[in-house]
Amino acid sequence: MTTPSHSDPTAWMSELLNAQQAMLRAWSEPMPAATDRRFAGEAWQKDPRYELMASNYLSYARLLCGAIDGAAADARSKAQWQFALRQVLDTLSPANCLATNPEALELAVASGGASLAEGMRLFLQDVAKGRISMTDEQAFEVGRNVATTPGSVVFENELIQLIQYAPTTLKVHKRPLLIVPPCINKFYILDLQPDNSLVAHAVAQGHTVFLVSWRNVSAAQGHLGWDDYLELGVIAAIDTALAVSGADRVNTLGFCVGGTLLACALAVLAARGERKASSMTLLTAMLDFRDTGEIGLLVDEEMVTRREAAIGRGGVLQGRELAQVFASLRANDLIWPYVVNGYLKGKAPPAFDLLFWNGDDTNLPGPMFCWYLRNAYLENKLREPGATVQCGEAVDFGSIDVPAFLYASRDDHIVPWHTAYATTGLLGGDTTFVLGASGHIAGVINPPAKAKRNHWVGKAGAQPQAWLETAEAVPGSWWPAWTKWLARQAGAQVAAPKNAGNRKYPAIEPAPGRYVKEKAS
């Protein structure tokens, strides 16, 4: 942080006055508590004491945030302080304390203390679990009522299982679709329920769909690195899908970090002179890590070096730790509502498939995670041609000369949409960019039948904001635009396969397979 030089008293006084004026404005303009959903309930509004408490809390929070905005510091430092301050302010909300939450107090009186007893039971239950419950976890079971699209595991190694889904059409496109989901979560976000399954949708459009199921690694796989995720993961899956389908090439799709892995693998194959993909779809994925949103504020040289010393040569990054980081980015959505409703009000969370998936933690090998952290988030080397050597090859995304469909979500707090847009300038083939409404997950999982949200389409240009200003807003899901584009890359229609796998790769077990059911230890 820099401050005005004392040798320039005029500039110093000006900075001081500006900061004081910002603080006075924040304090003198009370924030109406009803505008914040934490304090919008009737109990907060009917008692002026609680309404004043909430209003003062919001005004004081704005005062502190304004003081940081007015500080003489660089943008990154300010953003880091704002992030840290928000964690403190969110924690100190009067809604989070029994003594200052009128809704919880009224419920305690009305129930004769039963709500407090139930809240204590839920609290102790979560202490035993080591995490806050966000849904009724007993309501779901992988393979029973989530991840239910029929298929078979046709290949496995120490890192992945490869699922081939059963066709639902008499004919399928000659070129199959290979899906690479993120390895930091279980794959079934793409196959939650039949009515919102991207996997089932692609199958219904006449594609033979293969999908990578990443292993929830244990100490036995703690030695695996980034190159292993390319060779044993993506490249092995591509080769198997080609061998089983008999196609000349595969269409490929990568979601989030799965998209980063996919692009790196295709660049490695291109460096080897192997053209095995006919197209690439990236969903909310980053190849240029110049602006990574709030996650990037947590990454610096000291943090990365510490991680490398701890697990960089072997070990496991616990999935629970990653989950806590992501939850902290949206604490008022993913932490405190469950504390208040559960522990203060004694209300167990309802069944919600998305939150069941969100709580299904996945571990990562330390060497793989540390390589990714340094080369992507810290040093942003992936985007530079030849700056990284992966699987023995100098990686250049410009060598990926296949048609690419790039999707981003406008309110994504994990992959900012303008960062995803930067990929349009890195690839060597024609690119189609589509921007959807909502966030990282809800924007992607948006089936057409629900007729929700909208998306934007337009001709890719140099700057994301200029693209948005000229893009056309289209009602509803982006899925139809993608499936129409994908059909053009998928080849002629042929008879659908009668059985999964082939003689070399016979079916091992029914989908969703064993790996996705392994729990993080």
3-state DSSP assignment of residue 317: strand
Residue that the structure tokens 């969703």 belong to: 512
Three-state SS letters, 100-140: HCHHHHHHHHHCCCHHHHHHHHHHHHHHHHCCCCCCCHHHC
Give the residue among 70, 145, 365, 414 at the shortest CA–CA distance from 256. Answer: 414
Give the residue among 360, 365, 395 at the shortest CA–CA distance from 133. Answer: 360
| Residue 284 bridge partners (DSSP) | none
For residue 185, count other CB atoms closer than 10 A to its CB: 23
3-state DSSP assignment of residue 376: helix
Let me know: does 1 contact 73? Beta carbons within 8 Å: yes
Tokens of 376: 């992507």
256 is catalytic: yes
User: Dihedral (C-alpha) 117, 119, 123, 125: value to the nearest 10 degrees?
Assistant: 70
DSSP, residue by residue, 2-33: ----TT-HHHHHHHHHHHHHHHHHHHHSPPPG
Pairing of strands 509-510, 151-156: antiparallel
For residue 84, count other CB atoms closer than 10 A to its CB: 12
Please tell me which residue in 256, 264, 370, 391 is annotated as part of the active site: 256
Q: What share of the chain is helix, strand, coil (3-state, %, to 5)?
A: 50, 15, 40
Which element (helix H / strand E) includes 261? helix 257-271
Please name the residues in contact with 44: beta carbons below 8 A apart, sequence gap of 6 or more. 33, 34, 50, 51, 54, 102, 103
Please name the residues in contact with 329: beta carbons below 8 A apart, sequence gap of 6 or more. 294, 295, 413, 414
Q: Would you say how long the chain is, in residues?
A: 521
For residue 82, count other CB atoms closer than 10 A to its CB: 15
Three-state SS letters, 444-512: CCCCHHHCCCEEEEECCCCCHHHHHHHCEEEECCCHHHHHHHHHHHCCCEEECCCCCCCCCCCCCEECC
Instruction: Measure the N-to-C terminal CA separation of the chain; round to a whole number of Å.
Output: 41
For residue 416, count other CB atoms closer than 10 A to its CB: 24
Residues involved in catalysis: 256
